[in-house]
Amino acid sequence: MPDEERSEDPRQEQGPGDSPDSPDWIHRAVIYGVDVLRFQDSDGDGNGDLKGLVARLDHVERLGADCLWLLPFYPSERRDNGYDVTNHLGVDPRIGELDDFRLLAEEAHARGIRLLLDLVLHHTSNRHPWFQAAESDPRSRFRDYYIWSETEPPDSVSASAFPNERGADGIWTRSERARAFYRHKFYDFEPDLRIASDALWEEVKGILDFWIALGADGFRIDAAGELFADIGLPGDQADAGRRLDDLRGYLRHRAPSVALLGEVDLAPEQLPTYFDRGRIDQLLAFLPNNALMLSLATEDAAPLCAAVARHDDAVRHGAWRQFLRNLDELNLSHLSDEQRQGVFDVFAPQEDERIYGRGIRRGWAPMMEHDRRKRMTISLLFALPGAPLLVAGQEIGTGDDLALPGRASVRLPMQWSAEDGGGFSTSQEGEAAHLVTEGPFGIRSVNVADQEADPGSLLHLVRALIRLWREHPEIASPRTDRLDADPAIAAFRYGSIAAAHNLAADPRPLPEAMAAGQLLLGDETVDGGLLPGHGFRWVLLP
């Protein structure tokens, strides 16, 4: 489209089936997740900030991503990577000010990049003014915002979301100030919010309104699957459908194009409540993510293909956000004990590489071990039904640091160049102290500048995959057809496009249906029609 024909507001540019008054844009968006504190330092204090992110928007635009997911940047003591929010209506002083967010929104929108903010509704920090008031005065209106019990509930010793971590043993803690126990599914410094409270729910809508006015285009609802869980106390269970219907109704009136992405890590059969009636536009695809790791470990595509089919059966019109690795533990709770152990044996053989008995704390690129498997799996991400989520650093294959505690092992500064400070910061303080400087994943070996200059790099492949995904919208269909193939080949068809990915280290036969296809991206066949080990191939069918 010529420049003079472009909309003045890039957020109003429409894709197929999109409307300026609809959140459907999210189904065609490539989301790029950014932990602002670790992306780019603009003032030399060693911490990334909003101004630094603005300075790096050209990288996001060149990559082809058109939606930034911002991990929590609100005021916080960052005892839980910013999810211990102390003020939902502000910016952490280390990260910037509200005016910096306004600048980010203006500059991102000028490039056609939307902003997706983390909406942390499940809990607050115990330093949040709401909780401070609730503790101090039982007659305060804020007392109703949290979940209390005068006596210790029988489930007090239940495992928390983070077993065996300090502050996470049990789910009830006594507050001496409040003279009562408060519930916390996560850490003891993160008291659970009582979503059943109508007054709190109005606060939630006020938070959305605040950030929409400043330029937010959508929200990722953190721990959405936990919001409405039965907590075992009378009157404290919110009706998920009623609350989500109310939220969607509010958005249709306030800002109909605002999209919602839900973190709902539940079995597929439990997901319709979140999708029905347009309540949440997309859900993160946890089951396929678990199945992908199992398929990679066993070199068998069957678990992945079965997970895709199970999602299709559970939610016919579902829209999935596929991912390889987030900035949390790689949670494998959808696998059986035997399956999970099989994945551990391949990708996390050392006890220190595992966490919570259910997950892995290694980074995606180190687990893949060599370039061919990295390239194949990043391509497979774009082949799964729905839309892809990339996290900053995955486009170049950054590593991990197992010397850091817990989930911090994969929360590392972005590696922009081989120079001291990695192009991230001129300081060695703050987050800059955690830069990986040595080894095969250090800044000398893995960085944006070097990969920019190498047409065969992972960075250039990711850009090519995003272009391919955009040029052929049928790839993003929520439903796909599996092609008959060798057990190690994950092969899908999307209308006139087909893709095959070899999960095995040795060559395997290309699906017969793809033999006459025109190569669009990927590997040439070898030995008369075999897809190379850990190879991939996208074709246009006759």
- pLDDT at residue 227 greater than cutoff 50: yes
353-390 tens-digit pLDDT:
999 999 999 999 999 999 999 999 999 999 999 999 99
Cite the beta strand spans of 59-202 per DSSP E: 67-70, 114-119, 148-149, 172-175, 180-183
Predicted confidence band at 269 (pLDDT cuts at 50, 70, 90)? confident
Q: Which contacts qualify for 364-372: CB closer than 8 Å, 24 or more apart?
A: 364/324, 364/325, 364/394, 364/397, 365/394, 365/397, 365/398, 365/399, 365/441, 365/446, 366/399, 366/400, 366/441, 370/534, 371/458, 372/532, 372/533, 372/534, 372/535
Q: Which residue has the tokens 């410094």?
A: 189
Comparing 274 with 31, the larger pLDDT belongs to 31
Annotated catalytic residue, options 35, 66, 100, 222: 222
The mean-pLDDT minimum among 195-199, 205-209, 228-232, 447-451 falls in: 228-232
140-178 tens-digit pLDDT:
999 999 999 999 888 777 778 888 777 777 899 999 999
- The model carries a pTM of 0.94
Catalytic site includes residue 222:
yes
Annotated catalytic residue, options 118, 135, 188, 263: 263
Catalytic site includes residue 263:
yes
507 Cβ neighbours under 8 A, 6+ residues apart: 526, 527, 530, 531, 532, 533, 535
31-89 tens-digit pLDDT:
999 999 999 999 999 999 999 999 999 999 999 999 999 999 999 999 999 999 999 99
In this prediction, residue 317 carries a pLDDT of 67
Domains belonging to the chain, first-starting first, are 3-122+198-230+238-329+362-399+415-469 (3.20.20.80), 129-183 (3.90.400.10), 480-540 (2.60.40)
382-434 tens-digit pLDDT:
999 999 999 999 999 999 999 999 999 999 999 999 999 999 999 999 999 99
Instruction: Provide the token pair at 345.
Output: 């044996």
Comparing 344 with 2, the larger pLDDT belongs to 344
